[in-house]
Amino acid sequence: MPPPLLTLQDIHLTFGGTPLLEGAELSISERERVCLVGRNGSGKSTLLKIAAGGVEADRGARFAQPGATIRYLAQEPDLTGFDSVLDYVEAGLAPGDDPYRARSLLDELGLTGDEEPARLSGGEARRAALARVLAPQPDILLLDEPTNHLDLPAIEWLESELAGLRSALVLISHDRRFLTRLSRATVWLDRGITRRIERGFADFEAWRDQTLEEEERDQHKLGRRIVAEEHWMRYGVTARRKRNMRRVGQLADLRKTFREHRGALGSVKMAVSEAELSGKLVVEADRIAKSFGETPIVRDFSIRIQRGDRIGLVGPNGAGKTTLLKMLTGELVPDEGTVTLGANLQMATLDQRRDALDPAKSVRDTLTGGRGDAVFVGGQTRHVIGYMKDFLFAPEQAGTPVSRLSGGERGRLTLAVALARPSNLLVLDEPTNDLDLETLDLLEEMIDDYPGTVLLVSHDRDFLDRTVTAVVVAEGEGRWNAYAGGYTDMVARRGAGVAAKAAAKGGTKPPRARAGAAVVPAKARLSFKDKHALETLPVRISALESEIEKLAKTVADPGLYARDRAGFDKASAALAKAQAELAQAEDEWLRLEGLREQADAR
């Protein structure tokens, strides 16, 4: 097996007196698929910048194989200095790269290349940056939150594109499904150091929890050992004139180890302030419609939302999700039809642009409204510092202006403001933006326990599956349909994921939906071959899952590579093949199951 293309060894970096990286390591070989995970602020983006050569560590070694091509996608790409998007993308090509691939990728991503970089939206800038790093087909792709600002069709297209590349991948993302489908190894950055398992993100959370439990047990044992040593120091040498200096030194070392142990980072503690229960009927929309100019956004749409419902709105960018949400909550009057709001509604809103935050205000004033140091949460008065700690803010950040917070910190602050308001209707527009996985877990639990009603807009498929009871989908040309269950249930019934919004005349071509997600024809029937496949695929899927589990255990053997190089290579190749076959089999089963349900409904 050839040596790694890129290695980082014993990386140390300190910002403002606080150690960020304390011995972090990273190794990337040909065609590896690695996800880099960790809490917001743990240093993931910084480690990726060091890997890309953009940041220099205080200590440690970075080595890249001579001639290896590395491309890095930053969270906030810089397109300044270029006259057009095409110029920006082509500037990333090396001699010998195919210039036509740049235009092809821009076309797939819904851009023409003639756009002015200064006029691009956040989503368009992210698409241009993706085209720039994908066009050369480099040896290593370092992608920092590649799905940010992308809609569902673009995310599923990107999954398909990355899965077919020969490049090695290092991915940072809060999108669980994206990581699960693309990663084959996981690097966990925690308290400045990295740990690695040769398994994808699907196995990460169980492994992380087990690791933290073992660490807590070890720390508890260390504490008990210190107590025993201290007891010996006090009573075990009373009859002696001379102490055992070796044991005195050992005790000092034990105390130092125990004192300097950095426990796991704190968890966000979310509790929503509950208002009195609303009436049973929360929202009733009757044949509502809305158009902007000649473009229909919503037409002839009706829905009844009752207390306790969790409704997810999904669709491509520009489909009108936020417009529909505003009509359902009474903020926007429909052109046609009526919206009736239930009795005793108290609404708390989280908007996707975080417009509720004043960048000039401090964190303290944002939470208290500039009135002292108290926050009224859940019927109780709390000190603002204690409430800040629930959302992982340090006490010294109380006076920090909002403008100086990171994206993740602004996301947590917006949640803290929204959840402090008494409510029985929670409206969340892209709540998962800039949140780390642990914060997402807590938000999901909070939504699950919330006694009121929830309306949310999201492009995160896993988050939708975990939180909503029904999905309202943009079908195109202003048509919207509701499906019971989560996003996966909707795909099974509809036969497809969210389709890209049709381009306006003379406009750009939108990105394709994921390969294999074609819409089921209205009069489709199950052939004999389809029926046979529908019956046999579950057995095939189960066999593949068992095979993958065995191969993963083989590859995870830490001594296999040194003991049997050929065996390791063979097992790794077999594991990748089985995982690809499993994904294909699951997609085929979903397609056929949707076909069967449609045939049964006729």
The DSSP code sequence of 332-394 is S--SEEEEEE-TT--EEEE-TT-TT--TTSBHHHHHHTTSTTEEEETTEEEEHHHHHHHTT--
The arithmetic mean of pLDDT across residues 82-92, rounded, is: 94
pLDDT of residue 288: 95
Percent of the chain at pLDDT > 70 equals 80
What confidence category does residue 277 fall into, taking pLDDT thresholds of 50, 70 and 90? low
Which tens digit of pLDDT belongs to each residue from 512-558? 333 333 333 333 456 667 777 877 888 888 888 888 888 888 877 76
Buried b (16+ CB within 10 A) or exposed e, 78-96: ebeebebbbebbbebeeee
Return the higher-pLDDT residue of 586 and 291. Answer: 291
Q: What is the mean pLDDT of residues 287-304?
A: 91
Residue 251's pLDDT band (cuts 50, 70, 90): low
> What gap in Å lies between CA 433 and CA 35, rounded to an integer?
18
pLDDT score recorded for residue 517: 34
Each residue's pLDDT tens digit, 460-508? 999 999 899 999 999 988 999 999 888 988 888 887 777 654 433 333 3
Q: Tell me, what's the pLDDT at 513?
A: 36
| Domain 278-346+422-519 belongs in CATH node 3.20.20.410 | no
Decide: 172 and 48 in contact? Cβ < 8 Å.
Answer: yes
Q: Which comes out higher in pLDDT, residue 92 or 258?
A: 92
Mean pLDDT of the chain: 81
Confidence of residue 208 (pLDDT cuts 50, 70, 90): confident
Residue 384, CB half-sphere, CA atoms under 13 Å: how many? 20
Residue 473: the pLDDT is 93
Query: What share of the chain has pLDDT > 90, as a percent?
Result: 36
Q: Which fold is adopted by the domain 528-601? A: Helix Hairpins (1.10.287)
pTM for this one?
0.69
Q: How far is CA 217 from the centre of its chain?
A: 30
Domain ranges of the chain: 6-206, 215-260, 278-346+422-519, 358-420, 528-601
**CA-wise closest residue to 303 among 471, 84, 135:** 471
Confidence of residue 28 (pLDDT cuts 50, 70, 90): very high
CATH topology identical between 278-346+422-519 and 528-601: no
CATH number of 6-206: 3.40.50.300
- Closest Cα partner for 82 from 30, 128, 143, 148? 128
Confidence of residue 351 (pLDDT cuts 50, 70, 90): low
Name the residue type at position 462.
Answer: D
Q: Determine the pLDDT at residue 505.
A: 33
Q: Quick check: 153 and 510 in contact, CB under 8 A?
A: yes
336's tokens: 């046609």
Q: What is the pLDDT of residues 309-345, one digit of tens each?
A: 999 999 988 889 989 999 999 999 999 999 999 888 8
Nearest to 295 by CA among 125, 509, 507: 507
Average pLDDT of the residues in 220-241? 56
Q: What is the pLDDT of residues 95-123, one digit of tens each?
A: 888 889 999 999 988 899 999 998 888 78
Instruction: Report which of 447, 436, 55 is spatially closest to residue 265, judged by C-alpha positions.
Output: 436
Residue 520's pLDDT is what?
Answer: 35
Q: What pLDDT score does 374 carry?
A: 86
Q: What is the model's pLDDT at position 68?
A: 93
Structure tokens at 520: 């089921």
Question: Of 4-18, 379-393, 434-448, which one has max mean pLDDT?
Answer: 4-18
Query: Per-residue pLDDT averaged across 277-282, rounded?
Result: 74
